Every structure is written in structure tokens, then in C-alpha cells.
Copies of this chain bind each other. A is one copy, B any other.
Amino acid sequence: MIKLSDVAKRAGVSSMTVSRVINHPDKVSADTILRVQKAMEELQYVSNGPAKSLALGQTRILALLVPDITNPFFTTVARGAEDVARDAGYRLILCNTDENPQVEWNYLQMSRSRQVDGMIVSVCDDNSAAHLKVLPIDKVPVVLVDRKIPSEPYLDYVVGDNVLASEQLIDYLITKGHTRLGFVFGNPAVSVIRDRMAGVQRSLKRHDLIWRPDLCLTQARSPGDYRLITDDWIPRHHVTAIFAWNNLTAAHVYHLLVSHGYRVPDDVLVSCFDNPDPLSITNGFIPFVRQPAYDMGRNATIQLLERIAGSGRQGVVHQILVSQLVDRTLTPTTRIAEHR
């Protein structure tokens, strides 16, 4: 591997001058810059990252940890993060934790071991608190995105207005005449799940409807778990609308219903958070809450960069971004505003 001293020898200067040409060209005379650049060009010099990182104490790399890289919501978050990082001269690397705390822990080590300058993390669940708790020991900058951890209030986060948005979504469904509602939630150790449940319950309470645990799936994993919907909820309890906590879950429910001969949304309505159908294959017949995923990634990264630069001056920053109800089944004129 070509190193600084090789370039230096070829250009007839010291290593330090070469280093300066790269990092502080204003401190070097015009013609030595040219000579050194020529030598670098000829030798195809690329600096040694680890050596540079060791000397400088930084890598100019940020990591984004997401629980599920296949979910378009997170890839949109990633895009927002990437754009900010790139503009600031940082690289962004993606790490997929696959909702696995063990894998998450492994990737989190990268920040403590100084292989990245900071992390934007969408945690697996609240139990990740144990892992995140150790980061401040080494003053490692972290910003949570989408999912927060109540027990760690000193951590910065950028999340959606889950309680309010889900409350409004349920309000909307009730307004449209749906009073027999079924719910599909996920792991309640995840903050967004709890918040969305809370919003639902607030709406129900305000409309004098009771919360029925028997019409709520909380830990559905395998396709078989969903069978309750078509075996019980609809035939026996006459459920007319189902709220699924996220886009992928909603798509599952949609498919299940259609494959059982139900028409969506005429027989049973499905709604959720995040676009379950970016290509409108379902003709957009699924009203959903559009979270500002891109801005979540964007803002979280901006905040992370400020942490890195400011080295711990400012107080904790908690951002809650507003979401937006989208229902494409409405006619264009009455359609709830949407963009992007």
C-alpha cells in the first residue's frame, strides 16, 4: 500500500508537506502543491483510514441502525440521513439489526470503539436501554429516531406524533361510521406501539366506545396468528375496520382479507401508519398516517452532527414531528392534503 512517505519521497518533500497538501493546502506553496499532487496521482495514493482515524480521533462516518431494512419507512429515513450526512462530508453506513438485540449490541460497539463518529438508532425495543446506557461513558453521540426509550430521557430523539396521529386516525374511522374496530399491534416493548395504542384508547374513550382486548392482536408473528381476524373478528364480532400498527402489517392484513373474499375497503376497511402500498397496487384503498420519514432521518442526522460538533454543550433535544392523514379513497377535491 502506498503511504504518505512514498508520495513524499517521489515529490522530494517530507511526509508532513504531503499531509498538509491534503489537509491544509493553504499552508503550502502553489508549486509544491502541484508537485505533490502529481506524485499522488502517479502513485494512486489513498490515505490509510485507520491511521488517519487514530491520529485524528474521528472517522467522518455515521451509522444508521434500523430494525428492518426491508421496510420502506426505514429506507426513507435512511435517505434523509444520507443526504444530510453527505452534505456535511460524512459517509453514512446502514446496519440492519433485524429486530435482534444481540445484533444491535454488536453494531453499537462500533461507536464505542470509535469506528464511527456517531449513531442514529432506531432501537429494537426498550430493552436496548441497557446497551445504550453505556454509550455516555465514552461520550459517544447518539440520536434515537422513530422509537424512543422512556427510561432514558437524556437521549436525543426525533420521533413522530404517534399518540395524536393514531387518535386522529381512529377519530376519522369512527366519523366514517366504523364502531366495530379490530387492532393489530406488535411488541409493546416498542415505544411507537404503546403510543399508538394510547392514541387509540383516547379516541375510543372520547367516543364512548370500549376497548376490547379480544379484538386486538399484539404479538402476531406467523401468518397463522392472523387467522383470528377472518375466523372470529369479522364473522362473529362484525368488525368493519382494522387498524394495523404499521405498513407491512397492514399489507398482510389486506392480503388475508382479499384472499378470503372480502372486499377492501367496502366489506372491511384497513388502515395503518406509513404507506403500505407505495405503488398503489391496492389502488390506495388504505387510509394511512403518513409520517415524515425523510425528515426524521434528516433531522436526526442534523442533531447528531450538532452533538458531534458541539461536544456536549446543549441540553437534551426531543423532536416530535407531525404526521398527516392520507385517504386516497376520497375524491381529489375532498382528499386530505398530501405531498411528496
Residues of A within 8 A of B (CB): 1-2, 44, 46-54, 59, 61, 63, 69-70, 72, 75, 78-79, 82, 86, 91, 93-96, 98, 103, 106-107, 109-110, 112-115, 134, 137-138, 248, 251-252, 254-255, 258-259, 277, 279-283
Q: Which residue of B lies closest to A250 (CB)?
A: B279
Task: Provide the residues of chain B in CB contact with A252, threshold 8 Å.
Answer: 279
Pairwise interchain contact A96-B96, C-beta atoms closer than 8 A: no
Task: Provide the residues of chain B in CB contact with A69, threshold 8 Å.
Answer: 69, 75, 78, 94
Task: Provide the residues of chain B in CB contact with A277, threshold 8 Å.
Answer: 281
Bound together, the chains give a CA A113 to CA B51 distance in angstroms of 10
Pairwise interchain contact A106-B93, C-beta atoms closer than 8 A: no
Pairwise interchain contact B54-A51, C-beta atoms closer than 8 A: yes
Bound together, the chains give a CA A61 to CA B113 distance in angstroms of 13
Task: Provide the residues of chain B in CB contact with A44, threshold 8 Å.
Answer: 134, 137
Bound together, the chains give a CA A283 to CA B258 distance in angstroms of 8
Closest Cβ of chain B to A30, distance in Å, is 26
Pairwise interchain contact A138-B1, C-beta atoms closer than 8 A: yes
Pairwise interchain contact B93-A95, C-beta atoms closer than 8 A: yes
Bound together, the chains give a CA A55 to CA B254 distance in angstroms of 55
Closest Cβ of chain B to A279, distance in Å, is 4
Q: Please give 6 more A-B residue pairs, beta carbons under 8 A apart, in addition to A48-B114, A79-B96, A254-B281.
A: A44-B137, A46-B109, A51-B54, A69-B78, A69-B94, A94-B95
Pairwise interchain contact A114-B54, C-beta atoms closer than 8 A: no
Task: Provide the residues of chain B in CB contact with A280, threshold 8 Å.
Answer: 255, 259
**CB contact under 8 A between A47 and B113, given known A54-B54, A70-B75, A281-B251:** yes
Pairwise interchain contact B50-A54, C-beta atoms closer than 8 A: yes
Task: Provide the residues of chain B in CB contact with A282, threshold 8 Å.
Answer: 281
Q: Which residue of B lies closest to A46 (CB)?
A: B112
Pairwise interchain contact A113-B46, C-beta atoms closer than 8 A: yes
Closest Cβ of chain B to A331, distance in Å, is 15
Pairwise interchain contact B46-A50, C-beta atoms closer than 8 A: no
**Which residue from B59, B98, B138 sits with its C-beta under 8 Å from A50?**
B59
Closest Cβ of chain B to A165, distance in Å, is 23
Going nearest first, the 5 A-B pairs with the smallest beta carbon separation are A50-B53, A94-B94, A49-B113, A49-B115, A93-B93
Task: Provide the residues of chain B in CB contact with A2, threshold 8 Å.
Answer: 138
Closest Cβ of chain B to A117, distance in Å, is 11
